[in-house]
Chains A and B, each alone.
Chain A
Amino acid sequence: MDNQRQYWGTRVGLILAMAGNAVGLGNFLRFPVQAIQNGGGAFIIPYLISFLLMGLPLLWVEWAMGRYGARKGNHSTPFIFESMGRGWWIYAGVLGLFINMAMAAYYIYIESWTLAYTWFSLTGSFDFLSQLNVVEFFNNYVGLGNGLVNFPMTAIFFFLVTLGINTWILSYGLEGGIEKAGKILMPLLFIFGALLAIRAVTLQQGVFGTNYDASVGLNYLWEPRFDSLADPGVWLAAAGQVFFTLSLGMGSIICYASYIRSRQDIALNAMSAGWINEFVEIVLGASIVIPITVGYMGLDWTVQNAGFMMGFQTMPYLFEQWGSVLSTLAGMLWFGLLFFAGITSSLSMGTPFMAFMEDEYKWSIKKSALAFGLSTGLLASTCILFYQQGVFDEFDYWSGTVLLVVLAFLEIILFVRIFGIDNGWDEITRHADIRVPVVYKHIIHYVTPLFIGAVLLGSLITPENNDWIAALSSLLQGNGWPFDANSIISRIFHLHETTSSWLIDGRVTRLFIIDMSRLLMLLLFGILSMMAFKARQNRRRLESSQPAEKSEFELEELL
C-alpha cells in the first residue's frame, strides 16, 4: 500500500484521532495537580490566556505546516521543514522523529501499567490492601530493589502486550488502524470519564468510609487564590500545562495533518480537536482524582502527595473502600480510561517515523510499523531495566519536556520568519470553514514566539521550588541564582546529583547510567539525522535524473 494514497477517511475520524493524540494521562493526572499547586481556581486565568495566545495559534501553525508539507509530497517533519526553510531545517525536523520515538519508549511503558492495573482491578489483586501495601505493590510491579538492574517480569509481559497492540493497530495504516481506533476508544474514554466524574463529585461524607464530602476537594481545586497570579512561576506552570496537554512541539500533529486532503479545512478542525482536549481536561480531568483523594486522605495529605503517581499508588486503595463490586468496576473504568487516553496518544508517536520510512525508503506500512515496534521495544528496555536508576525519568525529561519546547520554538520561528507570516496566514485560512480573526495573524507573528521563548527560558533557569520571587531576591543580594533540580541548566550539569563520579568502589553509579542514557538518545538522534541526510541525497539524485513531478496533493489542488 502506497502511503501517498493514505488520507483520513472522515472528518470526525480525523478530529477524534487528533483529540486522542492530545488527550493523554496528563489530562487526568497532571492538570488537577498543577491547579491545586498553582492558585486553585485562579490557575484557570493564566491557563486559558496561554491556551488562547500560545496553544491555539501553535495548533493552527502545526496543522498548516502539515497540510503545506503534504502539498509538496511530504509527510515527515524533516522534509516538511526543509520544504519550508531549506538548508539545516531538515535536522530541526529530525527532532520531530526523535521526540516521538524517545517518548514512545517510556510512554508505552506507562501505558502498559494502565493495562496491567485494569487486569489487576478485574482480578481483585488490590482487595484488602492498605495504602502502603498499594505503594509496595507498585514498587514490586516495576521491580524496585537493591540491584543495579530491575527485571520486572509481569511489567515486561504487559509492556510487550501493549507494544504489540500499538504495532498491530499501526500496521493497519491511517484509516484502517489509527482512525478506527480513535472512533472506538475516544467515545469510550468520554463515557468512562463521565461515569467516574459523576461518582467522584457526588461522594458524601460517611458513605463508603469517606472522611469528607467531594465538595472539600473541589473547593480547594476551584477556590481562586488570586494572589498567586503575581507569581511568575504560576504563569509558567500554566503555559507549560497548555503546552504538554495539546501535544505541541512533538511533530505528531504536523504528521497527522499531512494526511488531510488539500481542500480540507484546518482552522475549524484544529479548534475542535483543541477544545475537545480542554473539555476532557477541565471538565472530566478536574473532577476525578482530587475529590476522591481529598474525600479519603484529607486536604493536607493530598496537597503534600499530589503527583502523577497518585493514579497508580493511591487510587486503587481508594477504590477498594467502595466494596468489592464497585471497586472492581471503578478500577476497570479508571485504568481503562487511562489506557484509552494513553494508546490514542502513543499511536500518534508511531506515525512520524512510519511516514518517514514510507516516504523516503518506500517501506510498506506493515514493515514500518514493525520497525517502529522493534526500535521502541529496544529503547524502552533501558527505561524498564534501569527504571530505578533514573533512565525512565531522563527520557521523560529530555524528550517529553525540554525538546517539545525547543521544537515548538523552532517551528514558530520557521513559520513566521523563514516561511513568512503572510504565507503562513494564507495557509491557515485557506479553505477554512471558520473566519479566523485577523488579530491571530499578529498573535502568531509576535506573541506566540514570545510565549514559547518565555517557557523555554523558564525551563532553562527554573529556580528552586519554582519560586521566582525568592530567586530574584537571592540574585539581587549577591547569593546567586538557586537552580531547581528540574531546570535544564541543573540537569545538564548534574548540579543536584550526589556524586560526580561514574565509578565508586569499582561499581558504576547512577550518574554513569544517566549519562549512558543521554548518550543513547544522542545516538538515536544521530542515526535519524544520518537517515534524513541519506534520504535527501536520494531525493537529489532522483531529481537530477527525472523531471520534477507534481505531487498528488498539488494535482488535487490544481483540479
Chain B
Amino acid sequence: MTTEALLTMLIVQLTVTIITARFLLKIFKSQANSKNHREDGRPPMPL
C-alpha cells in the first residue's frame, strides 16, 4: 500500500471516528436516557 493511500485512509477514517465519538459523547453528557432533557435550561454546548 502506498504511503499516500495509507495516510488518506487513516486520516479520513480516524477523523470520522473521532467526530462520531465526540457527538455521541455529547449525547451521553446531556442525559442520554432522559425523555425531556432540555428542561434544566442549560446553554447549548459548543460544537
Whether a CB of chain B sits under 8 angstroms from the CB of A276 is yes
Q: How far, in angstroms, from A522 to B19 measured CA to CA in the complex? A: 42
Q: Please state if B39 and A263 are interface contacts (CB–CB under 8 Å).
A: yes
Q: Is there contact, CB below 8 Å, between B46 and A434?
A: yes
In the complex, how many residues of chain B place their beta carbon closer than 8 angstroms to a beta carbon of chain A? 31
Query: A433 to B8, Cβ gap below 8 A?
Result: no
Report whether A219 and B2 are in contact in the complex, using a CB–CB cutoff of 8 Å.
Answer: yes
B1-29 interface code vs A (CB 8 A; 1 in, 0 out)? 11011101100110011011001101100
**Cβ of A279 and Cβ of B27 under 8 Å apart?**
no
Tell me which of B8, B12, B35, B39 contacts A10 (CB under 8 A).
B35
- The stretch among A162-170, A243-251, A265-273, A544-552 that forms the contact with chain B is A265-273
**Residues of A with C-beta under 8 A to B16:** 275, 278-279, 282-283
Residue from B9, B31, B38 in contact with A222 in the complex, judged by beta carbons closer than 8 Å: B9
Interface of A is mostly: helix
- Structural contact, B26 and A268, CB atoms closer than 8 A: yes
Interface of B is mostly: helix
Residue from A216, A218, A264 in contact with B38 in the complex, judged by beta carbons closer than 8 Å = A264
Interface pair B35/A268, CB less than 8 Å apart: no
Whether A272 lies near B17 (C-beta < 8 A) is no
Check if B27 sits within 8 Å of A223, measured CB to CB: no
Q: Is the CB of B4 within 8 A of A436?
A: no
Decide yes or no whether A536 CB sits under 8 A from chain B. no
Question: Shortest distance in angstroms between B5's beta carbon and chain A's nearest beta carbon?
Answer: 4
Contact call A223/B13, Cβ cutoff below 8 A: no
Are the CB atoms of A436 and B27 closer together than 8 Å?
A: no
B37 touches A223 (CB 8 A): no
Distance between Cα atoms of A481 and B18 in the complex (Å) = 44
B44 → chain A, closest Cβ, in Å? 5
In this assembly, does A152 line the interface, its C-beta being within 8 Å of a C-beta of chain B?
no
Given contacts A279-B16, A434-B44, contact A41 B5 (CB under 8 A): yes
Contacts of B33 in A (CB 8 A): 10-12
Partner of B23, one of A275, A286, A437: A275
> A250-290 toward B: CB 8 Å interface, digit per residue (1/0)?
00000000000101110111011001101100110010000
Q: When the two chains form their complex, are residues B31 and A223 in contact, meaning their CB atoms are under 8 A apart?
A: no
A272: which B residues are within 8 A, CB to CB?
Answer: 20, 23-24, 26-27
A435 interface residue per 8 A CB criterion: yes
Give Cα A218 to B8, complex, Å. 11
A323–B46 CA distance with the chains assembled, in angstroms = 51
Q: Name the A residues within 8 Å of B35 (CB-CB).
A: 7, 9-10, 261
A431 at the interface (CB under 8 A from B): yes
Q: Is the CB of B2 within 8 A of A223?
A: yes
Q: Are A224 and B45 in contact (CB under 8 A)?
A: no
Q: How far is the CB of A298 from chain B (nearest CB, A)?
A: 16
Alpha-carbon distance A9/B32, docked complex (angstroms): 11
Contacts A11-B31, A15-B27, A433-B44 given: A276-B20 contact, CB under 8 Å?
yes
Question: How far in angstroms is the closest Cβ of chain A from B8?
Answer: 4
Contacts of A450 in B (CB 8 A): none
Is the Cβ of A10 less than 8 Å from the Cβ of B46? no
Known: A10-B33, A263-B38, A433-B26. A215 touches B1 (CB 8 A): yes
Q: How far is the CA of A11 from the CA of B27 in the complex (A)?
A: 8
CA distance A435 to B45 in the complex (A): 6
Chain B residue nearest in CB terms to A10: B33
Q: A272-B27, A437-B47 are in contact. Are A219 and B1 (CB under 8 A)?
A: yes
Ranked 8 nearest A-B pairs via Cβ? A41-B8, A215-B1, A223-B5, A222-B9, A222-B5, A275-B20, A279-B20, A272-B23
Q: For the A-B complex with A10-B33, A264-B38, A268-B23 known, give 10 more contacts whose Cβ atoms are closer than 8 Å.
A: A10-B34, A10-B35, A11-B33, A11-B34, A11-B37, A223-B5, A275-B19, A275-B20, A433-B37, A437-B47
